[in-house]
Structure 1
Amino acid sequence: MLSEVGDTRIFGLEVIHETTEKIKVIKDKLKIAQSRQKSYADIRRRHLEFEEGDHRIGTSTYRIALPPNLSSLYNVFHVSQLKKYIPNPHQILSHESVQLKSNITYDPMPIQIIDRSVKALRSK
């Protein structure tokens, strides 16, 4: 098959070969990007497995027993949102009550102001 584009002649087999080569290059670049993304995700992925009595709902969700003041919250969480608690006998845990609004939000209160700065903007 022979076709003309302007003054140049392009043979059908050459077009097919050139397109095939470009597709191979694109596939190779996609494989490189996918492997880079996979290695990045594998570093940060952590496999968490909790004890038998931990109220597992599915392979990656758990039902958590919440204190009474948080009973209005949904108590099923994804594993990625949980951290395993390692008890420390020297650490004293204090529970603070949280006042929830009707839309299940709260206003966090600042504990301490650590730093102050004045931002100077360019004036034109």
Structure 2
Amino acid sequence: MLYGRKCRTPICWGEVGQRVLGSTDIVLKTTEMIQMVRDRLATAQSRQKSYADKRRSDLEFQIGDYVLLKVSPWKGVIRFRKRGKLGPRYIGPYKVIARVGKVAYRLELPDELSLIHNTFHVSQLRKCVTDETAVIPLEDIQIDERLNYVENPIAIIERNTKTLRNKVISLVKV
């Protein structure tokens, strides 16, 4: 409660000279209050620990998995595209090529990151969840001189109408 310092109570405060201990009622009330505060602190700490333990999970990656690499500790060392608030928190994906010990992994990094050691702690990695079907090949996109492109819908999945007070809006999911 007092961060390791001794409790200074007015029990022994008095005039200059002979010290007189206060009444036993004040001493008992003070010790009861200190014990109550300690009990409440222990309850709060155990509650917070149980919340943290429920959310904690041990990460493990297999060789060949793709992971994202955390870059926030490297702010002053290497800049990745944007600076400041808009800078990326994770870069990648990079392929796991080996497991080093229980909690470290060796990644296959590109040539631009050759100055960085390629072994990282599991806390610096995040699993890369990608949808392979969502990748659009760049050859299919035609860009004009204004850097605009035409979107061609593949299929209409669903049609719906939304009725407001005075109008009806048709919704189409492409």
Query: Given the two structures, how large is their TM-score scaled by the length of structure 1?
Result: 0.48
Query: Given the two structures, how large is their TM-score scaled by the length of structure 2?
Result: 0.38
The structure showing larger relative contact order (alpha-carbon pairs under 8 Å, at least 6 residues apart) is 2
Larger radius of gyration: 2
